Chain A
Amino acid sequence: MAKAPAGTLYRGREGMWSWVAHRVTGVLIFFFLFAHVLDTALVRVSPDDYDRIIDTYKTPVVNVMEFGLVAAVLFHALNGVRIMAIDFWEKGPRFQKQMTIAVVSLWAILVAGAAYPILDHTVRSLFGSNA
């Protein structure tokens, strides 16, 4: 495969795909934020209405989506640190590839660690002996 021209950060390979993932996760988080402000606004309507909408957050399907949201936010946050390091640290651009590997590795560890506390109740309710 031809080597990318020197000095490119956003064309091809890690630099480009982390840029794509940053956009995709950013858009997903933004749309969730819109819905989340609306559902939280129900505390101003009545405790019952708020509790009812929050109950949907506790269902297995939405709970798995929350896990996806946490994964998306974690990637966006970690890659955001990488972007700031590229912009403000003099050696940042030189180590952007290594930093991408660090971001993805740390992300995988954190997502794996978040899986149990977030999905515990859902897994038990679906497959546990009290299901």
Chain B
Amino acid sequence: MTATLPEVGSPGLSIEVPRARRTRSKGSRTNFEMYSWIFMRMSGLLLIVLVLGHLLIMNVLDGGVQRINFGFVAGRWASPFWRTWDLSQLWLAELHGTNGLRTIINDYAVRDSSRFWLKMLLYTSAFLVLVLGTLVIFTFDPSIK
């Protein structure tokens, strides 16, 4: 059997033209990136109030973190206002952060497979954090033993 060289231009041998445009698949012709850009700004605006308020209450006022314990959480979550605050904060912060890391992975991942797997890891962790956090807020029981 004689060894045959791959034809010139076959996938195994092809070298991309430097700085060639990535060919986009038809499925990605949406405005997703624009909506993600808007989401980062709108959620950021809300998070400034939610997160800075959270840090002020938890770390700065009335002795800060030293006074936090189960009873403190139970007292706050007795109020629908703070449960709504914490739920909004959880969802907005997790989605804002996940979208930020998605951008960073897109920027720095060199190989398509590492980009894919890093994003799968990211989306899996985001899903778990959102489900767990939401369940905890909705099923909180102050009289748990």
| Chain A interfacial positions (CB closer than 8 Å to B) | 23, 26-27, 29-30, 33-34, 37-38, 40-41, 43-44, 46-47, 50-51, 54, 57-58, 63, 66, 69-70, 73-74, 77, 80-81, 83-84, 87-88, 114, 117-118, 120-121
Contacts A54-B68, A80-B48 given; indicate if A41 touches B132 (C-beta within 8 A): yes
Give the Cβ gap from B123 to chain A, nearest Cβ, in Å: 13
Contacts A37-B132, A73-B52, A73-B55 given; indicate if A30 touches B101 (C-beta within 8 A): yes
Q: Which of A29, A30, A34, A77 contacts B48 (CB 8 A)?
A: A77
Task: Give the residues in chain B near A69, CB-CB below 8 Å.
Answer: 55
B59, A118: Cβ atoms under 8 Å?
A: yes
| Chain B interfacial positions (CB closer than 8 Å to A) | 41, 44-45, 47-48, 51-52, 55, 59-61, 63-66, 68-71, 73-74, 90, 93-94, 97-98, 100-101, 104, 125, 129, 132-133, 135-136, 139-141, 144-145
A77, B51: Cβ atoms under 8 Å?
A: yes
Bound form: Cα–Cα A69–B60 in Å = 13
A26, B97: Cβ atoms under 8 Å?
A: yes
Task: Give the residues in chain B near A51, CB-CB below 8 Å.
Answer: 69-70
